[in-house]
Amino acid sequence: MQVSLNLEGLPVVVLGAADDARQALARYRRAGAALAHFESPAAYRAAVALPSRPALVAVVGLQGGRAHDAEWAPVLERYRVLGVPRVDEPAAGPRGHVTLVGGGPGSRGLLTVDAVEALRDADVVLFDRLAPWRELAELTTAQLVDVGKLPGHHKVPQVEINRLIVEHARAGANVVRLKGGDPFVFGRGGEEAAACAEAGIPVRVVSGISSSIAVPAAAGIPVTHRNVSHAFTVVSGHAPLTDDEHRHLAGLGTAGGTIVVLMGIANLPHLAAGLRRSGMPATMPLAVVERGHQAGQKTTLTELGRAEADTARCANPAVIVIGEVVRLAGIGSRAAAEDELRGLAASFMMEAEGTPT
Ligand code: SAH
């Protein structure tokens, strides 16, 4: 539901409980309306000054059934509101729509303009913890639903997420499903889009900046570099790779391709051993970049031969990069610039100390 009208100065009455009315109020306020809001029939009866001829009456949250509606009857009558939709008399077909939004690797600055606009216009945002969720309250007035964790700390299963998306859209909401990185890179965005299509709900995809490129970049590692690497392969390390896959990757890596592994921390020892068995040299550089573009970002630089020991304390979320490009780590990154500045400052200090006054 979107209000793009200019209601500057026009009287608008919103009827409904505070939680239900939050979205509507924010929208009409933005449109410049002179708002009156009644949370309950009692509040309406107690009001002293009522706008006599509102330009618009928005009734929200009356889906509680007939008994609840009946309480509002005198108010609705006064404003001659006709045909309040009820859940037991749904309008034909779905009215809401869904936008699958890629939120990038977790920093607000890496949201796209389209992502920011979609969030601003949303009624409901279903998010998980890889997206920039901490800033959501500043970016949208939508109802926020954390599908990354259930109260018992388990992830909400994918079928349940699909069901929630469809349910909110069927109720008429403009739903944003905010995902980390790009929705179509290991994000199960395809399944969510398919679930919407199956339910006949219009769905749009807003591409995001994928961690597979942006997280190596946060450590100053370009995934391709002229004369160093002319290809990069993004692999999921969620399940242990087969010997065939190890051989294939080792071939790509040895021929100068970069290997980027997402969700690979738990299986890193298995991967490193598999690549070595398949002939990748033990001196091949390997980096693990944890929490890229987020507070606490950390880069561990090592090589294939001792990756297990050197990365034993690395934790998710992290991106593993294997290839010669890792030797370029630090190019253009803030960490590298800071290191350089510290080095410069130290040499000035030494000069100053050595200069007789
Ligand atoms: N669709 C996402 C990937 C989802 S799979 C994208 O395009 O980026 C989840 C994996 O992405 C994590 O296990 C981790 O490997 C990686 N990841 C996402 N955000 C990250 C971040 N800020 N820092 C490090 N790794 C990240």
Residues 119 and 49 in one domain: no
Q: Is 149 a catalytic residue?
A: yes
**Residue 54 covered by a domain:** yes
- In this predicted model, what pLDDT tens digit does every residue of 302-339 receive, in sequence order? 999 999 999 999 999 999 999 999 999 987 766 656 65
Closest ligand 1 atom, residue 264 Cα: 15
- In this predicted model, what pLDDT tens digit does every residue of 118-175 receive, in sequence order? 999 999 999 988 888 889 999 999 999 999 865 566 778 999 999 999 999 999 999 9
**Residue 129, pLDDT score:** 87
**Residue 221 covered by a domain:** yes
- In this predicted model, what pLDDT tens digit does every residue of 6-54 receive, in sequence order? 667 777 777 777 777 777 777 777 777 788 888 877 787 777 666 666 7
**Residue 26 covered by a domain:** yes
Residues 85 and 103 in one domain: no
Residue 122's nearest CA partner among 103, 147, 144 is 144
Q: How far is the CA of 263 from the centre of ligand 1 (A)?
A: 7
Q: How far is the CA of 180 from the centre of ligand 1 (A)?
A: 7
Between CA 188 and CA 200 the distance in angstroms is 19
Q: Which residue has the higher pLDDT, 330 or 283?
A: 283
**Residue 89, pLDDT score:** 41
Residues 230 and 201 in one domain: no
Nearest CA to ligand 1 atom 9: 263
Closest ligand 1 atom, residue 130 Cα: 19
User: Contact 235/241 with Cβ under 8 angstroms?
Assistant: yes
pLDDT at 226 over 70: yes
Residues 83 and 105 in one domain: no
Between CA 184 and CA 152 the distance in angstroms is 28
User: Contact 229/325 with Cβ under 8 angstroms?
Assistant: yes
* Span of 144-153, 203-212, 275-284 with lowest mean pLDDT: 144-153
Residues 157 and 122 in one domain: yes
∠ at Cα 233 (227, 239), nearest 5°?
A: 150
Question: Does the bond joining 285 to the residue before it have cis omega, within 30 degrees of 0?
Answer: no
- Structural domain ending residue among the three candidates 89, 105, 137: 89
Residues 240 and 306 in one domain: yes
Residues 272 and 167 in one domain: no
Q: How far is the CA of 101 from the centre of ligand 1 (A)?
A: 15
**Residue 105, pLDDT score:** 96
What lines the ligand 1 site, CB under 6 Å? 105-106, 130, 180-182, 185-187, 210-212, 215, 262-263, 289, 291-294, 316-319
For residues 142, 145, 146, 151, the Cα torsion angle rounded to the nearest 10 degrees is 140
**Residue 63 covered by a domain:** yes
Burial 329-353 (b: 16+ CB within 10 A, else e): bbeebeeeeeeeeeeeeeeeeeeee
**Residue 39, pLDDT score:** 81
Q: How far is the CA of 22 from the centre of ligand 1 (A)?
A: 33
**Residue 52, pLDDT score:** 66
Q: For the chain, what is the domain count?
A: 3
- Structural domain ending residue among the three candidates 181, 209, 237: 209
**Residue 33, pLDDT score:** 77
Nearest CA to ligand 1 atom 25: 318
How many other CB atoms sit within 10 Å of the CB of residue 226? 7
**Residue 163, pLDDT score:** 96
Q: What does the mean pLDDT of the chain come to?
A: 84
Q: Please give the residue range of the domain that contains residue 241.
A: 212-328
Residues 237 and 298 in one domain: yes
Residues 68 and 147 in one domain: no
Catalytic residue among 128, 179, 182, 280: 128
pLDDT at 342 over 50: yes
Q: Which residue has the higher pLDDT, 149 or 101?
A: 101
pLDDT at 111 over 90: yes
CB-side exposure of 116: number of CA atoms within 13 Å?
A: 10
Q: Is 128 a catalytic residue?
A: yes
